Structure 1
Amino acid sequence: MNHKFFNYLGLAMRAGKLVTGDESVLKTVRSGEAKLVVMATDASVNMQKKYRDKCGTYEVPLLEFGTRSELGSSIGKDERVLIAVTDGGFARMLQSCQANLAEVKDIEQNRQ
């Protein structure tokens, strides 16, 4: 679990820079306000396809990270499948956490 990623999500929530929920996130993506969408890894297949397509169409980065329970608890809410980040600074911080985590996983896999 990447604690830094979830801590940044909580910070963005307290700063009022997150939107959650299917319809709200979709509206934010369509309006161009979303700088990043975070989707739970345990989202339904239909939800995954819908947001991969929408984020691709509107050129919004999409991260699939954490479970719905982890995402929700990191922002002090019930389970959340989708979170849109509306601030560019927070979006970059979250993406850099994800990139650093991927690099660590690659190093660990190469050692095995």
Structure 2
Amino acid sequence: MNKKYLNLLGLANVAKGIVSGETLIKSIAANETKLVVIANDASANTKKKITDKCHFYHVDYFIVDENIETISKAVGKNNRVALGIINQGFAKKIKELIGG
């Protein structure tokens, strides 16, 4: 897997193109989120909650090989289990880099 997408996550964050936490769930339901990236060590309950929302609202998602610490560090914040990319351009490029 290409790790360049982590750099893009950081750029997307600076460009205000990322949401997380409860805002992520609301953003998925409002069809604002284009792609969701979930850390591999997220709890089973969290993964299920987010992936169920993604399935229902037809949003692409990836459970990546990185852990919570790595994902959080990429965007410069603490304890980010999942990130929603709301910018279409960033979402498309990140999806390509992850392998979707």
TM-score exceeds 0.5: yes
Structure 1 segments (4+ residues) deviating >2 Å: none
Name stretches of at least 5 consecutive residues in structure 2 with no aligned partner: none
Relative to its length, the structure with more helix (as a share) is 1
The percentage of aligned residue pairs carrying the same residue is: 37
> Which residue does the alignment assign to 1:103?
none
1:18 aligned onto 2:15 = no
TM-score normalised by length of structure 2: 0.93
Aligned partners of 2:68 and 2:28: how far apart in 1?
Answer: 20
C-alpha distance in 2 between matches for 1:92 and 1:2: 15
Contact conserved, 1:10 with 1:75, CA < 8 A, in 2? yes
Instruction: Using structure 1 for the length normalisation, give the TM-score.
Output: 0.84
Larger Rg: 1 or 2? 1
Secondary structure, aligned partner of 2:27: helix
The residue type paired with residue 68 of structure 1 is I
Number of equivalent positions: 99
| Separation of aligned partners in 1, 2:60 and 2:68 | 19
**RMSD of aligned C-alpha atoms?**
1.3
- Counterpart for residue 44 of structure 1: 43
- Unpaired stretches in structure 1, ≥5 consecutive residues: 101-112
